[in-house]
């Protein structure tokens, strides 16, 4: 597949997830897909992750800010926004799983995703999330940038 084809797959995936079309996961991901960052493997587990995310943030929406393709990889800098209107379960490495009742808070999170695509299907992803800002916006932590 061409670099432009790979970028088109990512654009389509983001557009469909923004419409909450979780069927796109079955269509564009290999059955043994792995998310290296959050340690998820397989379509069912990945779909459960997005279902939980949309339960917590029913208006969740991602915007592609930059996209670069090289070989079988596509790097995507994204901004995602949503309002915490539903229960959200988060697994924090140092604390364990916590569940947050809806806060009504609007959040904005930046991330860089590195997708590996073979034959128009995602086979793996690694992500760098701005978790500190995400947790701060939800009130899980209270962090102020030093002046």
CA separation for the pair 13, 8 (Å, rounded): 9
Range 3-138 has CATH code 3.10.450.50: yes
CA separation for the pair 49, 90 (Å, rounded): 10
Q: What pLDDT is recorded for position 80?
A: 96
CA separation for the pair 16, 136 (Å, rounded): 28
Of the listed ranges 69-78, 86-95, 131-140, the one predicted with least confidence: 86-95
Average pLDDT over residues 31-51: 86
Q: What pLDDT is recorded for position 95?
A: 64
Two tokens, residue 74: 């596509």
Q: What pLDDT is recorded for position 142?
A: 80
DSSP state for residue 46 in the 8-state scheme:
H
Domain boundaries, the chain: 3-138
Two tokens, residue 112: 């860089």
Measured in whole angstroms, how far is the alpha carbon of residue 98 from the centre of its chain?
Answer: 19
């Amino acid at each position: 597949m061409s670099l432009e084809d790979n970028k088109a797959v990512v654009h389509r995936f983001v557009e469909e997830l923004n419409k909450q079309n979780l069927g796109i996961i079955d269509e564009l991901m290999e059955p043994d897909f792995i998310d290296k960052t959050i340690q998820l493997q397989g379509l069912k587990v990945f779909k459960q992750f997005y279902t939980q995310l949309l339960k917590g943030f029913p208006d969740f929406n991602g915007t592609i800010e930059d996209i670069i393709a090289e070989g079988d990889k596509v790097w995507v800098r994204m901004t995602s926004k949503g309002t915490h209107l539903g229960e959200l379960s988060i697994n924090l490495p140092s604390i364990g799983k916590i569940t947050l009742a809806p806060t009504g808070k609007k959040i904005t999170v930046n991330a860089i995703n590195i997708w590996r695509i073979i034959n128009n299907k995602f086979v793996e992803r690694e992500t760098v999330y701005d978790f500190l800002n995400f947790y701060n916006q939800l009130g899980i932590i209270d962090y102020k940038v030093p002046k």
